[in-house]
Structure 1
Amino acid sequence: MNVLLMAYGTPYAPEEVEPYYTDIRRGRRPSEELLKELSERYEAIGKSPLNEITLAQAVRLQALLNLEAPPYPKRLLGPFPPRAPHGPARVYVGTKHWHPSIGEAVAAMHEDGVRRAVAIVAAPHYSLRSVAEYREKVDSALKALPEPIDFVWVESYEAHPGLIAAYARRLEEVIWRLKNPGKAAYVFTAHSIPLSAVEKGDPYPRQVEKTAELIAKRLALPRFYVAYQSAGRTPEPWLGPDINELLRTLREEGYEEVAVQAVGFPADHLEVFYDLDLEAQASARELGLRLLRARSLNADLDYIQVLRDLVEAAWPR
């Protein structure tokens, strides 16, 4: 079994911010103002751990896919997943906007003799501006190959029971820290997308709302809200409400505590550390709100088990 695990990617060093941002902008160099703003954001958080987390996810996913149940009674050692009938597994990493790029990963797979693989993005929700663009990059890389690779895609997994349980587990940790959980507001966030994509029928907001609903139901939350963050710097309108705007509304409604969970971001990176831990936290302090954020899934075992389930279910029998 072969897997292409994809993530957004992030620069490793300050001098890489400009080419990284240029790639995000499809080859158009950012203005000095935009470049300065993004560079300052990276300086503010220190360093994004996204690349390291993605590599750790790949290593652990490969190990879990290759795990063989030991010949001992389950009653002694607990439940072990049986080895799936797919042979040895190898997981390749490709990032959307940095290195190793998706094109580099696909080329490496072909060089290794891979002719069939599962493609999965480390993001639970499908969007024309996310998973669809990853697919475009894979298709573009395939055109450069002398022989094709047959990719089976996992395009979304917003309602996977393991994903919902993992998110709920982390939000429950925050609930224990609230002064009055019954009177707190619960906010689930995801990356904003242009409204033009939503108007074209993009299922993204419905999938984000579904994830939020299932977590809220599992924890019997008294109330919850969905907000968006990290909108692009373009003149077109983006999907809202923005998390900072929602915080203002919640304070006006009398809330004093807010629990936030970034369900659109499995891993810690710039949008989590800067947009939530710094910017949204600053907004909350200014408003007199106590804001607590649930920790991310990262490369924790419960999330890797979700990825394993999805990959094994997608692999052709």
Structure 2
Amino acid sequence: MALRVPFAQACRRATLNGPSVSSASILPAYASRWRRRNATVAPSVTQASASSKGPTAVVFMNMGGPSTTDEVGSFLSMLFADADLIPLGRLQNYIGPLIARRRTPKIQKQYAEIGGGSPIRKWSEYQASEMCKILDKTSPGTAPHKPYVAFRYANPLTEDMYKQLLTDGFGGGNGGRAIAFTQYPQYSCSTTGSSLNELWKWRNRLEGKRATGEVDPEGAIKWSVIDRWPVHSGLVEAFAQNIEKTLATYPEERRDKVVLLFSAHSLPMSVVNRGDTYPAEVAATVYAVMQRLGMKNQYRLVWQSQVGPQPWLGAQTSDTVKNLMKKNITDLVLIPIAFTSDHIETLFELDKEVIGEDAEGHEGVKRIESLNGNPVFIEALADIAKSHLESGVPCSPQMLLRCPGCVSERCLGQKAFFAGQEQRL
């Protein structure tokens, strides 16, 4: 317990100062303390012993992934129907399902090759559960903390998560608070924004005017949002340690010459040009990690998972690997910098397509371990949530500024709702 107090303070200072602050002066001492921390976690606080400000629901929001190959079709249908993620214009409702049907057999084969489904639900539920155990100890005033997962395109869907909240005694006249905690460290309207739009939609249907006749009924859930955390010290440390572990597998004389390729999910240029903050926030994460590593290695930020013929943010990860190898640069480490657990983009796209096919399995091309159950990462999640609970604010000021080119009324309404929660926290 004593170790976490100065750590949390240091994390907050580093986060406020942004990626320009050198992590070297802060992180090493706390990293060693993390490693020495007793792994035994105290039992979670029970509902019967709720504090004056508890219980608190913590909802991990993510894109999700099909748990079985049979779920691939519905997953793709919802994904391509989402104009926030993949804008297809006026014919979205027609083109989206058509693309989904055509791609389903191919994507089913890909999921079959990585074990028959995505592990993202397993890791999300584990991360949320372990984080809440830590929060029960470090933030007893808001305990007990109950973990939930809400996926945008796969089970458990946001609708079902919200119904479970009501079943568990949150809202529906009972009050209670809930945190929508994005598991996209870097904000984008296509990811976090889309998930918050969906959450706001189901809040209105199940607790808002469409359900009760009131805009803000008495006893509804009090919501707040953790909408971005691209340079949190714990996130940076977790990535840095995994990179160091992979670099250590190269012979010492080659180690400092390894090129680091930070790979993130790409965006359509129409979204980028609208003013989306995602590219800048991903770059901030990359730079903070490189500062922590001492800037010893050459690096590039590259982009993966382009879909369709329209222009997307580049350079593409696969093209970059092929081009570097043509130049006889064959010691490359791939770092999935915008992902917090394994899923098809890491297990198939990076491991099988980029490393297995583009790099032809060259022994010098490797990928770092994903964050998954990393204890440093889970400690970071708990510290982020604790700081948020202590702040008393509903969301970051940055979330309330719309993209300069945004014309979405839904986006405007969603932001107004979460901003209006401030008086109720």
TM-score (ref. length: structure 1): 0.89
2 CA distance for matches of 1:286 and 1:90? 45
Matches within 5 A, 1:7-86: 7-26=62-81, 28-31=96-99, 32-46=101-115, 47-67=117-137, 82-86=138-142
Query: Given that residues 247 and 283 in structure 1 are in contact (C-alpha distance below 8 angstroms), is that contact kept between their aligned partners in structure 2?
Result: no
SS at match of 1:260: strand
SS at match of 1:125: coil
1 CA distance for matches of 2:381 and 2:361? 39
- 1:180-203 Cα shifts (integer Å, max 9, x gaps): 112211111111111111101111
- 1:89-136 Cα shifts (integer Å, max 9, x gaps): 112211111111112212222341244221112121101111000110
Number of residue equivalences: 302
Query: Given that residues 355 and 362 in structure 2 are in contact (C-alpha distance below 8 angstroms), is that contact kept between their aligned partners in structure 1?
Result: no
One-letter amino acid matched to 1:225: R
SS at match of 2:189: coil
SS at match of 2:67: coil
Query: Given that residues 3 and 117 in structure 1 are in contact (C-alpha distance below 8 angstroms), is that contact kept between their aligned partners in structure 2?
Result: yes
1 CA distance for matches of 2:170 and 2:192? 25
Q: Bigger radius of gyration, 1 or 2?
A: 2
Query: Given that residues 228 and 240 in structure 1 are in contact (C-alpha distance below 8 angstroms), is that contact kept between their aligned partners in structure 2?
Result: yes
One-letter amino acid matched to 2:189: L
Unmatched 5+ stretches in structure 1: 68-81
2:288 to 211, 214, 219: 214
2 CA distance for matches of 1:310 and 1:302? 12
Rate the CA distance shift 1:287–1:294 in 2: closer, same or farther, 3 A: closer
1:140 to 195, 201, 218: 201
Does 1:228 pair with 2:303? yes
1:98 to 132, 154, 157: 154
- C-alpha displacement at 1:172, in angstroms? 0.3
The residue aligned with 1:152 is 224
Query: Given that residues 62 and 151 in structure 2 are in contact (C-alpha distance below 8 angstroms), is that contact kept between their aligned partners in structure 1?
Result: yes
The residue aligned with 1:251 is 325
Query: Given that residues 62 and 91 in structure 1 are in contact (C-alpha distance below 8 angstroms), is that contact kept between their aligned partners in structure 2?
Result: yes
> For the aligned residues, what is the CA RMSD?
1.8
1:302 to 373, 376, 382: 376
2 CA distance for matches of 1:113 and 1:245? 48
1 CA distance for matches of 2:359 and 2:128? 37
One-letter amino acid matched to 2:198: K
SS at match of 2:301: strand
2 CA distance for matches of 1:83 and 1:140? 30
- C-alpha displacement at 1:306, in angstroms? 1.4
1 CA distance for matches of 2:110 and 2:244? 30
1 CA distance for matches of 2:102 and 2:139? 53
Query: Given that residues 63 and 191 in structure 2 are in contact (C-alpha distance below 8 angstroms), is that contact kept between their aligned partners in structure 1?
Result: no
TM-score (ref. length: structure 2): 0.68
Query: Given that residues 126 and 204 in structure 1 are in contact (C-alpha distance below 8 angstroms), is that contact kept between their aligned partners in structure 2?
Result: yes
One-letter amino acid matched to 1:99: N
- C-alpha displacement at 1:251, in angstroms? 2.2
Does 1:2 pair with 2:57? yes
SS at match of 2:262: strand
The residue aligned with 1:195 is 269
SS at match of 2:322: helix
2 CA distance for matches of 1:84 and 1:205? 37
- 1:247-271 Cα shifts (integer Å, max 9, x gaps): 1232244312001110111100111
The residue aligned with 1:113 is 170
SS at match of 1:225: strand
Rate the CA distance shift 1:12–1:87 in 2: closer, same or farther, 3 A: closer
1 CA distance for matches of 2:358 and 2:110? 19
Query: Given that residues 45 and 270 in structure 1 are in contact (C-alpha distance below 8 angstroms), is that contact kept between their aligned partners in structure 2?
Result: yes
Query: Given that residues 125 and 148 in structure 2 are in contact (C-alpha distance below 8 angstroms), is that contact kept between their aligned partners in structure 1?
Result: no
2 CA distance for matches of 1:258 and 1:284? 12
2 CA distance for matches of 1:190 and 1:222? 19
Whichever structure has more helix as a proportion of its residues is 2
2 CA distance for matches of 1:99 and 1:286? 35
One-letter amino acid matched to 1:42: Y
Q: RCO greater where, 1 or 2, for CA within 8 Å and sep 6 or more? A: 1
2 CA distance for matches of 1:40 and 1:256? 29
1 CA distance for matches of 2:70 and 2:181? 30
Does 1:164 pair with 2:236? yes
1 CA distance for matches of 2:122 and 2:353? 24
Identity of aligned residues (%): 23
Rate the CA distance shift 1:287–1:64 in 2: closer, same or farther, 3 A: closer
- 1:166-191 Cα shifts (integer Å, max 9, x gaps): 00000001110123112211111111
2 CA distance for matches of 1:308 and 1:149? 21
